[in-house]
């Protein structure tokens, strides 16, 4: 939706524009790509963008595992949702960078950690290619039409705040990424009717029964905090946790942060309010 809103914003400012997403694993929290192409000429290329002028990273944890600068054109810029200042980013090479704490801004204005519209405001500020008015028009059209005017208004407020808070600088070099290796059998290599068999790969165990070795707690924005004195051991949170991150104890339940993805379901179902959600911030860098 943000890629679409960016295309609408660019159109509002007089460019030709197209946008489309590319989905990988279809589950919430999985990394996805979306592309927006805009320019003064009529656009005839409708492929994915392999050599972008700008890369917008909505989740900082991606920088640790994916070389977000791969393909970035010389002089291009990366715009990252992070609490860090631009010169505290460690990338595969030096690059023009812009940063904004879009998560805090989104939580404040939209009450959700959906940072895409805040990042549109950051894009407008960092690149100067589109106006804040264009971004607002894009958000109102795309989010207002699909969701509601009230939600669109809140997202416009997030974009405005991010526009003001975006910092410009240069990210540092030094991050080295593991070379991509083929680690899963293709569909053609698997015997018909079988799921991926358990096996060790350079990235850990995969296949049936491998989930305990995949620590998914790093995906979290908010973490559940348990007040043991309030817990009645009703086990509703244990029952509803979609990740099996809560186990039963003698008197109260236990939350396993190495797996908890911070969905907040446990806090929502806990009648005595023994669990509340807290923002988890690794590092805060003041402007
Ligand atoms: S839902 Fe609340 S009261 Fe029930 S076990 Fe979980 S934390 Fe305790
Ligand atoms: S927030 Fe609660 S329900 Fe969601 S994954 Fe974590 S422990 Fe489970």
Contact between 6 and 144 under an 8 Å Cβ cutoff? The reply is no
Residue indicated by tokens 């942060």: 257
User: In this structure, which residue's CA is closest to atom 4 in ligand 2?
Assistant: 263
The Cα 221–Cα 127 span in angstroms is: 27
Q: Is 276 in the pocket of ligand 1 (CB under 6 A)?
A: no
Q: What is the pLDDT of residue 228?
A: 94
Q: What is the pLDDT of residue 30?
A: 66
Q: Which residues contact 86 (CB under 8 A, 6 or more apart)?
A: 97, 98, 99, 167, 168, 169, 170, 171
Closest ligand to Cα 217: 2
Domains of the chain: 2-171 (3.40.920.10), 199-279 (3.30.70.20)
**What are the mean pLDDT values of the chain's consecutive 10-residue runs (287 residues total)?**
93 94 65 91 89 95 89 96 95 96 94 91 97 95 90 96 97 86 66 72 75 80 93 94 90 93 93 93 55
Q: What is the pLDDT of residue 205?
A: 77
Question: Which residues contact ligand 2 via a Cβ below 6 A?
Answer: 224, 241, 243, 245-246, 255, 260-266
SS3 call for 104: helix
The Cα 278–Cα 236 span in angstroms is: 20
Q: How many CB atoms lie within 10 A of CB 197?
A: 12
Q: Which residues contact 104 (CB under 8 A, 6 or more apart)?
A: 83, 279
Contact between 77 and 159 under an 8 Å Cβ cutoff? The reply is no
Atom of ligand 2 nearest to the CA of 222: 1
Closest ligand to Cα 232: 1
* Choice from 255, 257, 273 to test ligand 2 binding pocket (greatest atom count within 8 A of CB): 255
Strand partners, 167: 99
């Amino acid at each position: 939706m943000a890629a679409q809103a960016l295309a609408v914003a660019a159109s509002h400012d007089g460019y030709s524009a197209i946008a489309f997403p590319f989905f990988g694993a279809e589950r919430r929290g999985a990394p996805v790509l979306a592309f927006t192409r805009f320019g003064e000429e009529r656009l005839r290329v409708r492929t994915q963008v392999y050599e972008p002028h700008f890369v917008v990273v909505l989740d900082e944890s991606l920088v640790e595992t994916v070389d977000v600068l791969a393909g970035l054109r010389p002089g291009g810029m990366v715009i990252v949702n992070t609490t860090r200042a631009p010169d505290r980013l460690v990338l595969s090479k030096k690059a023009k960078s812009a940063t904004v704490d879009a998560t805090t801004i989104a939580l404040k204005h939209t009450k959700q950690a959906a940072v895409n519209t805040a990042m549109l405001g950051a894009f407008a500020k960092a690149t100067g290619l589109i106006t804040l008015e264009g971004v607002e028009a894009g958000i109102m059209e795309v989010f207002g039409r699909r969701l509601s005017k009230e939600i669109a208004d809140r997202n416009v407020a997030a974009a405005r705040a991010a526009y003001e808070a975006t910092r410009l600088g240069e990210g540092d070099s030094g991050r080295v990424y593991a070379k991509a290796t083929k680690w899963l059998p293709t569909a053609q290599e698997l015997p018909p009717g079988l799921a991926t068999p358990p096996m060790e790969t350079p990235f850990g165990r995969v296949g049936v029964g491998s989930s305990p070795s995949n620590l998914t707690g790093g995906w979290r924005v908010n973490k559940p905090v348990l007040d043991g004195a309030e817990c009645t051991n009703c086990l509703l949170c244990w029952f509803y946790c979609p990740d099996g991150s809560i186990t039963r104890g003698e008197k109260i339940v236990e939350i396993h942060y190495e797996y908890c993805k911070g969905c907040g379901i446990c806090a929502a179902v806990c009648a005595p309010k023994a669990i509340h959600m807290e923002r988890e911030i690794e590092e805060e860098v003041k402007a």
